[in-house]
Amino acid sequence: MSVISLRKQDGVLIVTSDNPPVNALGLAVRQGLMEAIEQASRDDEIKTVVIRCEGQTFFAGADISEFTKPPVEPLLPAIVEAIEACPKPVVAAVHGTALGGGCEVAISCHYRIAVPSAVLGLPEVKLGLLPGASGTQRLPRLVGVEAALEMATKGENVSARRAREIGLIDRLANEDSLAEDAITFAKEVANIRPIPRTSEKKVAAEPGIFQAFRKANARKFRGFEAPEEIIQCIEAATRLPFDEGLAVERQTFMKLLFSSQSAAQRHIFFAQRKAARIEGVAEGIALRDIRKVGVIGAGTMGGGISMNFLSAGIPVTIVEQQAEALERGVGVIRKNYEASAAKGRPTPDQVEQAMGLLTPTLAIEDVSDCDLVIEAVFENMDVKQDVFRKLDAIAKPGAILASNTSYLSIDEIAAVTGRPGDVLGLHFFSPANVMKLLEIVRGDKTADDVLATAMAVSKKIKKVAVIAGVCHGFIGNRMLMPRQLEAEKLLIEGATPEQVDRVHVDFGMPMGPFQMVDLAGTDIGWHRDPGRIDNIRDALCAEGRLGQKKQAGFYDYDDKRNPSPSQRVAEIIETFRAKANVTTRTVSDAEIIERTLYPIVNEGALILEEGIAQRASDIDVVWVFGYGWPVYRGGPMFWCDLEGAKKIVVGLEKHMDKFGPHFSLSALLKEKADSGGRFNG
């Protein structure tokens, strides 16, 4: 049976797509739509047309499995032109999510009716593309420049009600009777002439609107090519006849399609999905039920971790040693929720609901009925092992026991329990209620169903999870180490914190290595002996320059946390230069890239060699979602593919004497350089 079925009823041709799961606009759907429009044009009995979908949604977008294949006609741009040119009025009946090509089909119809729960949107920008089937030309003609800019450059969906307000849809249907309401609507408009064709409308732009929009969104769009290209296409819609605007859109679409940014963004899109596949674990394995979670430690991480579960409606019992720490921790959770509520989401009711699911306690025994317990106490093996011994004694059989450790061995932690199969690492990133990344650390003995359950839980709390093996720092922090080490060395050789950070920010990172240390606290991992000064960080800590929290770290901060270069830090750096007996030199920006970013790639390659990461794309996911690597550069391994492994290896070899004897060039990276191979397919 064809995925598109046709039915005639009282002069209405009802065109129905049934292409599960999301009515993607694959070839069969496109062919069916084209034939339907041809029939409607030919058949005198047909006065009007309804296009609708069966199943959970209207056309949710392109068929992503076709992305990597050569295009086969009829293509979507031809379909939407045929729909609009149809001599009979065409009504789109929208439910679910009309996204991308789906939204473009809807706006090529002459009328649109949608149920209140429907959403519409043009998310192409998130893949570094633009809506290339007339979206940039029809949308502004339909909803005006401002609303079109918002939708197309940010890729955010609009609700049916909002769509009604801006003129994206004409009518709201009843939630339960879309098919009937659409037919009624189609009959009402059957004889209206001229048929309203969006391409025939004109759209005016207020003077300065594009410049103002660019300025208002400069931060959000920094580094990305697609938003600017979309702005220019929409600008063309205000200036050029429809066909010429369409030509601009087509040309720009092709440019973006072949751009490295879009390739990178599409890579990350697929990489996220791939990351959920756990090597050696059967797909349909039975999962453990996680209904109640325990969190040990109500500090920075424990609080944030708890919020993830509370927001997902899962009750949390949070344990501290002392009443004061417990009270402080719970207070921070509430404060964080209220700060978000003040901005509109969650609602105050939802805040109370979430807080109502939280049980604070000083008795670790209270987690004995929890299905998952996450330890987030101090980063110290003895302290952690002590906690796990207690958990082993009290946790119910089958409970999953997780550590949020940043660096320590999950195997050593698991070894103090009588159930190492139930133990794994769940490494959240700070702030844990905000950062998307979760490293699921697979111990030597971690059971398959424990891993699979952790992966399923990560989806419930809306994280992007990646499997990591046991090593010092797992995937992300281990790769960060050489970067931080080299960044500090560069200061002694002649660079400044401002220069190093600027190079990273120019590359597209949200902040540079020193800004990051100041944000996290220069004292993270500090040995806490002010008399022992082995490096610049020790010197800062010894003077109480602990970062933003003390308004002094690698930078000085005002009370609004705005940084400025620090004279004192310059002096400290100077003493290290004198001690090391180096003549300072001008460090080029290119060297900063080679010294701080290339070692990240090298460490990633070592991690692959050792099997710490399952695949190169997982490493890319870690860096995009955990460390702010610009998504348009696709993560460090994809970036290496773009730059060429050879260039990276040559760059690394140039600085071998500076990296020192501990540095080892990855054989895998070298092999890629020699063979011209890639990490990502």
User: With contact defined as beta carbons under 8 Å apart, do 413 and 388 qualify?
Assistant: yes
Give the nearer residue to ligand NAD in terms of CB position, either 420 or 473. 473
Exactly one of 18, 146, 379, 448 binds ligand NAD (CB under 6 A); that residue is 379
**Alpha-carbon span 106 to 97, nearest angstrom:** 11
Which residues have C-beta within 8 Å of that of residue 166, sequence separation ≥ 6? 143, 144, 147, 158
Rg, Å, the chain Cα set: 28
Helices (H), 434-509: 448-460, 476-493, 497-507
User: With contact defined as beta carbons under 8 Å apart, do 547 and 553 qualify?
Assistant: yes
The closest alpha carbon to 405, from 435, 371, 382, 422, belongs to 382
Which residues have C-beta within 8 Å of that of residue 459, sequence separation ≥ 6? 276, 465
Positions 509 through 528 that interact with ligand NAD (CB under 6 A): 520
Tokens of 461: 């709390």
Active site (annotated) includes residue 124:
yes
Shortest Cβ 521–ligand NAD spacing (Å) = 8
Active-site entry in 45, 73, 124, 338: 124
Judged by phi (left if over 0) then psi (alpha if -120 to 50, else beta), residue 122 lies in beta
Give the nearer residue to ligand NAD in terms of CB position, either 169 or 413. 413
What does 249-296 look like in DSSP terms, one character per residue?
Answer: HHHHHHHHHTSHHHHHHHHHHHHHHHHTPPTTS-TTPPPPP---EEEE
Helices (H), 43-144: 76-85, 101-108, 135-143
**Alpha-carbon span 193 to 650, nearest angstrom:** 68
Tokens of 97: 């999510």
Please classify residue 380 by burial: count the beta carbons closer than 10 Å to its beta carbon, then call 0-12 exposed, 13-18 middle and 19+ buried: exposed
Give the nearer residue to ligand NAD in terms of CB position, either 74 or 299. 299
**Alpha-carbon span 281 to 452, nearest angstrom:** 8
Query: Amino acid identity, residue 271?
Result: A
Shortest Cβ 362–ligand NAD spacing (Å) = 8
Give the nearer residue to ligand NAD in terms of CB position, either 299 or 494. 299
Give the nearer residue to ligand NAD in terms of CB position, either 547 or 635. 547
Shortest Cβ 322–ligand NAD spacing (Å) = 7
Exactly one of 260, 404, 417, 499 binds ligand NAD (CB under 6 A); that residue is 404
Shortest Cβ 610–ligand NAD spacing (Å) = 22
Exactly one of 406, 433, 548, 614 binds ligand NAD (CB under 6 A); that residue is 406
Exactly one of 62, 236, 377, 487 binds ligand NAD (CB under 6 A); that residue is 377
**Alpha-carbon span 316 to 295, nearest angstrom:** 7
Shortest Cβ 407–ligand NAD spacing (Å) = 7
Q: Using CB under 6 A as the criterion, what x/- string covers residues 290-329 for binding ligand NAD?
A: ------xxxxxxx----------------xxx---x----
User: With contact defined as beta carbons under 8 Å apart, do 284 and 260 qualify?
Assistant: no
Helix, coil or strand: residue 151: helix
Q: Should residue 535 be labelled a site residue for ligand NAD when binding is judged by CB under 6 A?
A: no
Shortest Cβ 623–ligand NAD spacing (Å) = 15
Phi, psi (deg, nearest 5) at residue 93: -110, 105
Shortest Cβ 402–ligand NAD spacing (Å) = 11
Among 59-67, 72-80, 375-383, 572-580, which window interacts with ligand NAD (CB under 6 A)? 375-383
**Alpha-carbon span 470 to 626, nearest angstrom:** 18
Give the nearer residue to ligand NAD in terms of CB position, either 6 or 381. 381
If binding means CB under 6 A, how many residues of this protein chain bind ligand NAD?
A: 24
Which residues have C-beta within 8 Å of that of residue 482, sequence separation ≥ 6? 599, 600, 602, 603, 659, 663
Shortest Cβ 533–ligand NAD spacing (Å) = 23
Shortest Cβ 537–ligand NAD spacing (Å) = 16
Among 206-214, 226-234, 337-345, 374-382, which window interacts with ligand NAD (CB under 6 A)? 374-382
The closest alpha carbon to 40, from 88, 93, 73, 107, belongs to 88
- Which residue of this chain has its Cβ atom nearest to ligand NAD in the complex? 299
Q: Should residue 387 be labelled a site residue for ligand NAD when binding is judged by CB under 6 A?
A: yes
Q: Using CB under 6 A as the criterion, what x/- string covers residues 330-369 for binding ligand NAD?
A: ----------------------------------------
Give the nearer residue to ligand NAD in terms of CB position, either 40 or 395. 395
Give the nearer residue to ligand NAD in terms of CB position, either 143 or 466. 466
Exactly one of 72, 212, 254, 383 binds ligand NAD (CB under 6 A); that residue is 383
The CB density around residue 189, as the number of other CB atoms within 10 Å, is 17
Give the nearer residue to ligand NAD in terms of CB position, either 519 or 593. 519
Shortest Cβ 326–ligand NAD spacing (Å) = 8
Shortest Cβ 561–ligand NAD spacing (Å) = 17
The closest alpha carbon to 302, from 431, 407, 168, 477, belongs to 431
DSSP state of 646: H
Give the nearer residue to ligand NAD in terms of CB position, either 253 or 429. 429
**Alpha-carbon span 108 to 639, nearest angstrom:** 38
Phi, psi (deg, nearest 5) at residue 325: -65, -40
The closest alpha carbon to 637, from 666, 674, 675, 657, belongs to 666
Exactly one of 41, 430, 496, 535 binds ligand NAD (CB under 6 A); that residue is 430
Among 31-39, 250-258, 280-288, 401-409, which window interacts with ligand NAD (CB under 6 A)? 401-409
Q: Should residue 617 be labelled a site residue for ligand NAD when binding is judged by CB under 6 A?
A: no
Shortest Cβ 431–ligand NAD spacing (Å) = 8
Give the nearer residue to ligand NAD in terms of CB position, either 190 or 326. 326
User: With contact defined as beta carbons under 8 Å apart, do 18 and 53 qualify?
Assistant: yes
Shortest Cβ 363–ligand NAD spacing (Å) = 10
Burial 2-12 (b: 16+ CB within 10 A, else e): ebbebeeeeeb
Active-site entry in 84, 104, 229, 320: 104
Give the nearer residue to ligand NAD in terms of CB position, either 255 or 472. 472
**Alpha-carbon span 478 to 603, nearest angstrom:** 8
Tokens of 347: 């609602």
Give the nearer residue to ligand NAD in terms of CB position, either 171 or 328. 328
Residues at the site binding ligand NAD, with contacts judged by CB under 6 A: 296-302, 319-321, 325, 376-379, 383, 387, 404-406, 428-430, 520
Residues annotated catalytic, as ranges:
104, 124
